[in-house]
Structure 1
């Protein structure tokens, strides 16, 4: 397989563009929050830090940009990270990839390249749902694929909010075939499930992995639409709920739900495991964890 240099450049540039759009929209929400218990404090802003990945031999293996806002008017903690990394997969990652994707030759040539965006938002107001989104491209000399999706994680569920989130996801997926959304929704329901709790992490969304039809342009168009669906699916929910009154009972429910979120990300999430096993910046990998949580 060729190096796909042009395709890698386009994918990496898209993830950066999507990151910039989302960061601007979230900071706009902070500016718009002019009422409520936290409205007197300064509007939240993202703090930026470059991240680096170092190969085992000490050489440069890529990196990214970590963008985190803490203690805002609307967002208690939100991260929007991008990265583009490369190197050689270790023995465990080689075996896992060969087993999951059926790729021959990983042991002989374990080079990889990966780029993507990862977002997790934890909210000040318990009526505003937490959310997760990521999309990525992965390349090896033996094959390439896309993955990612987004899912909604409210601690206080509103049926109309869930319906809106899914409707926007469906509209973007339907551009690529009517059969796609039901499949990606079912995949998200299966993936974002916490077996030891026997319950879902949230109210679902869409998810796919190992996606390669052989048509890179078509697959890249799909991954862009998944990314473009995020803001219209999520922003109206926050805008509607961000000034709702809340007290100690609602905050307690939020903290307990965050405990579930932390359990899932630390025990089951494949992205967390891959990031830590391949030597990426641990603060960036663990950005998804909430600032506060509790267990009962």
Structure 2
């Protein structure tokens, strides 16, 4: 039986002073790249030994013009979460919990990587390669306010890691749920994924294909008006991603269409997906399942 864990908020650093000049009511733009977690099980039924830990790695990119601080991380996939940093003790590298909230300067990034700072998961549920789980990160500024970004974390096999693609970052990814939870019967086997792509590459690129085991068919679609009716159709030639620019997939516009879903998409879950670009780059991402539009309305 699948183990369920209550969401545990790892820590909350609310330092009183950050040199942030964010405009009131405007959420800084945050993007992510090279996100993944180490698999700790071969099947969902495996027992994870007590005390065994795994870790999450990522690069958090602050695309706004003001610095932010990472003050909290939570996930339903583990009982306890800690931010660890690597410190040298003589000739030995040791890992120890961070004691201060890491600050990300405007236009800079924060790296969680192997043999460096990382997000430690203690008491994690079985994490199988090819799956994904949601993680919520809380950020803060000088005005005392906070904002959250929920991301999906793909679980990867440590022995078969993909080539990092630091020139492309992902932001605001989400998939429409087909049911609120496991007690509800899905009303459809179709969903959509939305996200933002940010490029720091020197050459133009394009998102040309999507692969996921969550759906029998995954296609990049565009929304077009046919008289008074909005219709969706496959996008020919892929979605352009200009050098140093961005591309947005959003409701009413470009989106990734998921058809023939292999399993219902419940609010609070996540799915694994690989984005394939014309340049040959492939990025495996996790996509959290929730209604971002409804969440944004509730925050207004």
- TM-score normalized by structure 2? 0.28
- Greater helix proportion: 1
Task: Flag the structure with higher strand content.
Answer: 2
